[in-house]
Amino acid sequence: MDTDIAKLPLHSLNPFMPGAGKQPPELVGRSHDLELMDRMIDRTKLGLLDRGIIYSGLRGMGKTVLLLKLNDMASRQGMATVQIEADGDASSEYDELMHELSLAVMRIRKPDIRQRLSEVFSRVESVSLDFMLGSATVDLRGADAGKQAVRTSSYKLELLVEGLSEELKKDGSGLFLFVDEFQDMSAEVMMTLITVQHKLGQRNLPFYIIGAGLPNLPGVLTKARSYAERLFEYRQIGRLDDTAAADGFQKPARDLGYSFDDKALTRLVDLSKGYPYFIQAYGKAAWDASDSNPITVNAVEQGEPVARAELDQGLYVSRWQRATPLGREYLAAMASLGETCTSAQVAEHMHRNASDLSSIRLSLIELGLIYSPERGRIAFTVPGMDEFIRRDIPTENQSYDGRAQRQIV
């Protein structure tokens, strides 16, 4: 059925999509990454090899949607693709990998290659445990059972990825594994994957890990296997420049026959600070507040508090609530020092010894709220978290419980 866009009410057309992993109406500022993927696919078809890619960046920068887009590009061009999100538990990560690999095989369109790949699965499934682990070492009772199961999964995964890549290569294809939140992956699975990437690269087999995670990800990978440094191309997903940010607002509007006027656009670019999540939130709110075409700066101003509330809910509040009271004190001290600071400055601000605070600092890192961009320094993983804390958190008790509602916890 043909829908006449011009006849639809303005609000129902709103193209902006704030929210984790929500595909934006226009993926701006990523042309280099899309070209890189195009090149990798072309080279794979020719049997030539590339390195995997690791993307790192702060929360809300667009890592997940970029992985989804690259995955889509690869699968449309006949590559076998798998996407998983790490959760830190080795056995569930192995299960998910196996499950997703089997789905990837089923999604292959050509029946003959799908058949050959299914045979690889059956072959790996039928390899006996004794053979893989050496019969003398196998004891499947008690605490050893869990360890053995994880080891078996590691062998199976290696055999499977190797077998699938060999078959795919014969057909000018390859296996692309997209891993989101890679920094959270269990050490066991991370080591297995890096090792497999390394070994298959040496054998010229087309298996690529395309990972994404927080800014500490490159360091975590290198710690797992020192050669990880040479194995991947590392790319930072940072703020968008003003032109890209402006496109992020204007292009989706133009596609629908609307536009933002110059003043509105300048203000929006300013408010977004180049953060993709902010583009979606401010774009959506301005669109909803507008009843004109072009959309004016008035609508932007009217939408601003709505966008702010959307960002508070989507990015900050739940993270703040995750921290313990002492953790919140720590975060508040960091916020008063700006976007980034040193642990020593925080301790001084809190009138405490830095060593007394090291465990709370570690727990905030484990919660994914802060990270260490370089030795001794700490920063928030979410852009604008410092500003949110300074703006919205009462300093006396550092509590925040829901939108515009303050109470002592």
Ligand X SMILES: Nc1ncnc2c1ncn2[C@@H]1O[C@H](COP(=O)(O)OP(=O)(O)OP(=O)(O)O)[C@@H](O)[C@H]1O
Residues of this chain that bind ligand X (CB under 6 A)? 17-22, 24, 27-30, 57, 59-65, 248, 276-277, 279-280
Q: Which does 60 bind (CB under 5 to 8 A by kind): Mg ion, ligand X, none?
A: ligand X
Q: Which does 383 bind (CB under 5 to 8 A by kind): Mg ion, ligand X, none?
A: none
Q: Candidates 64-72, 165-173, 311-319, 371-379: pick the segment binding Mg ion (CB under 5 A).
A: 64-72
**H or E, element range at 236:** strand 232-236
**H or E, element range at 340:** strand 340-342
CA distance linking residue 267 with residue 297, whole number of Å: 7
Place of tokens 């601000």: 349
Contact with Mg ion (CB under 5 A): which of 64, 75, 290, 398?
64
Contact 289, 306 (CB under 8 A): yes
CB of 66 to Mg ion, least distance (A): 9
3-state helix, strand, coil in the chain (%, to 5): 60, 10, 30
Residue nearest to ligand X (CB): 62
* Buried/exposed code over 186-210 (b: 16+ C-beta within 10 A; e: otherwise): bebbbbbbbbbbeebbeeebbbbbb
CB of 26 to ligand X, least distance (A): 6
Q: Which does 218 bind (CB under 5 to 8 A by kind): Mg ion, ligand X, none?
A: none
* Residues with Cβ within 8 Å of residue 319, at least 6 apart in sequence: 367, 368, 369, 382, 385
Q: What SS3 state is found at 342?
A: strand
* CB-nearer residue toward ligand X: 86 or 175: 86
Contact 386, 380 (CB under 8 A): yes
Q: Candidates 55-63, 156-164, 302-310, 349-357: pick the segment binding Mg ion (CB under 5 A).
A: 55-63
Q: Which does 54 bind (CB under 5 to 8 A by kind): ligand X, Mg ion, none?
A: none
* CB-nearer residue toward ligand X: 52 or 383: 383
Q: Which does 29 bind (CB under 5 to 8 A by kind): ligand X, Mg ion, none?
A: ligand X
CB of 64 to Mg ion, least distance (A): 3
Binding region for Mg ion (CB under 5 A): 63-64
